[in-house]
Structure 1
């Protein structure tokens, strides 16, 4: 049985002062949405390279989103099996 689904992630990056904040919003197309957030801060002595702050904030937002998905998956497995889920690679 084949199954194909498209999920999309929209990322917004906001820069203010020496801080960068990213939001990664996941939409599954089935009404489920999750938002991961991440921040980065430029050290006062570092060169002003906004792309570096963007990359770090987005990476942290995606990591947050990933963690949320793992927790949701474990909860879904436990709801179906009525046993603790042990997710490993």
Structure 2
């Protein structure tokens, strides 16, 4: 059985008054990919930092996911010389 391990780490900080998360994907011999997500506190809402962390992280992971799909589509098109169907 061939087993592969990919790792994602998420780092959260404050950047220009917003919560920022960076999700880094390490996938063996592939180049590292980084997704970024931002969240900001609505002035009318209670200040609950954990919610900003979660939202920024979710957005960073979604960004990373979209990048991975786009890279996979490009790989498919390079190998098959045909348009991929990943976005339909």
Q: Aligned equivalents of 2:8 and 2:44: distance in 1?
A: 33
Residue in 2 aligned with 1:54? Answer: 53
Structure 1 counterpart of 2:77? 78
RMSD (Å), alpha carbons: 1.7
Query: 1:14 is matched with which residue?
Result: 13
Segments of 5+ residues of structure 2 without an aligned counterpart are none
The aligned residue for residue 66 of structure 1 is 65
Determine the structure 1 residue equivalent to 2:4: 5
TM-score where L is the length of structure 1: 0.90
Residues 14-62 of structure 1: per-residue CA shift (max 9 Å, x gap) = 1257510000000012142000000000011211100000000000000
Runs of 4+ aligned structure 1 residues displaced above 4 Å come to none
Secondary structure of 1:10's aligned partner:
strand
Count of residue correspondences = 88
Give the 3 Å change call, closer, same or farther, for CA 18–42 of structure 1 in structure 2. farther
Pair 1:17–1:36, CA change in 2 (3 A): closer
Which SS does the other structure have where 2:55 is aligned? helix
What residue number does 1:24 align with? 23
Q: Are residues 75 and 16 of structure 1, via their aligned partners in 2, closer, same or farther at CA, if it must alter by over 3 Å? A: closer
Q: Find out whether 1:37 has 2:36 as its counterpart.
A: yes
Question: How many angstroms apart in 1 are the aligned matches of 2:30 and 2:12?
Answer: 24
Query: Does the residue aligned with 1:83 lie in a helix, a strand or coil?
Result: coil
